[in-house]
Amino acid sequence: MIVVSRIKATYKLVIHFLVLVMTLTSTVNAQNEPQAGSAISAVSSNPRTEWFRESGYGIFVHYLNGIQNNPDRVHSLGKQSSWDECVAEFDTEKFADQMEQAGAGYVIFTVMQISRHLIAPNATYDKISGYAPGEACAKRDLIEDLYTSLNKRGIRLMLYWTGDGPRLDEKAGKAFGCNPQNIVSADFVQKWSSVVREYGERYGDKIAGWWVDGCYSFIGYDE
């Protein structure tokens, strides 16, 4: 089945990430071991993040139009469709089964990255960008479906987001105020944060955490 096969191709390409995470986890644990003769002080645990330490390793998935829906990339197995169809065909139950078999304590999944394409509906984004539902934001709420499938198996869901918006899309980028120099403005930040706010208010504590990328000082983030 092409749906399952396209997803399986992605699984194989994240195995190296599992190895990297396990290696880094071992390194961090070793570094945190008290050294002989060093002072030891009690540190209170944070219940909001303690689960992350106890989860062991997780799996980070980039599910993007330029990867899983790109016929030139192995992840797509040569198939290309509309982004809305690509999101609609994602089998979250099959995916969650594979995550459980891999022993993942959590999954980090991309909402978007630099293009106009997002994996779930967002009325704020559609209003600002001028795109109709399904043209940029998928009509299917893949985030909600991922949460449902993973939560049944005790696997937490985290989301990947970026601070530089849909800067590679001419229409959306212009609407949000992206520029060729990739320098953010207060107007851009206000618009872009309103998009992620809609997601945050929709999902609440169903999302265990956010990995926010690209908020660099050299592009204008200085607070």
What span, in angstroms and rounded, lies between the C-alpha atoms of 157 and 147? 6
**What is the share, in percent, of the chain residues with pLDDT greater than 70?**
78
* Domain range enclosing 139: 2-20+46-219
Separation of CA 52 from chain center = 16
Residue 101's domain is classified under what CATH number?
3.20.20.80
Q: Is it the case that residue 28 has pLDDT exceeding 80? A: no
**What is the share, in percent, of the chain residues with pLDDT greater than 90?**
68
Residue with tokens 């200085």: 222
Tell me the pLDDT band of 35, cut-offs 50, 70 and 90: low
Q: Of the spans 6-15, 21-30, 139-148, which averages the highest pLDDT? A: 139-148
Higher pLDDT, 131 or 38: 131
Higher pLDDT, 83 or 73: 83
Give a yes or no: residue 35 inside a domain.
Answer: no
Give a yes or no: residue 199 inside a domain.
Answer: yes
Domain count along the chain:
1
Give a yes or no: residue 186 inside a domain.
Answer: yes
Q: Which residues of 128-164 are buried (b: 16+ CB within 10 A; e: fewer)?
A: bbebeebbbbbebbbbbbbbebbeeeebbbbbbbbbb
Contact 188, 178 (CB under 8 A): yes
Q: What is the pTM of this model?
A: 0.79
What span, in angstroms and rounded, lies between the C-alpha atoms of 124 and 115? 16
Give a yes or no: residue 159 inside a domain.
Answer: yes
Give a yes or no: residue 153 inside a domain.
Answer: yes
Give a yes or no: residue 30 inside a domain.
Answer: no
Which pLDDT belongs to residue 72? 76
Contact 84, 138 (CB under 8 A): yes
Give a yes or no: residue 37 inside a domain.
Answer: no
- 170 burial (CB, 10 Å; 0-12 / 13-18 / 19+) is exposed
What span, in angstroms and rounded, lies between the C-alpha atoms of 47 and 52? 10
- HSE, side-chain direction, 13 A CA sphere, residue 208: 22
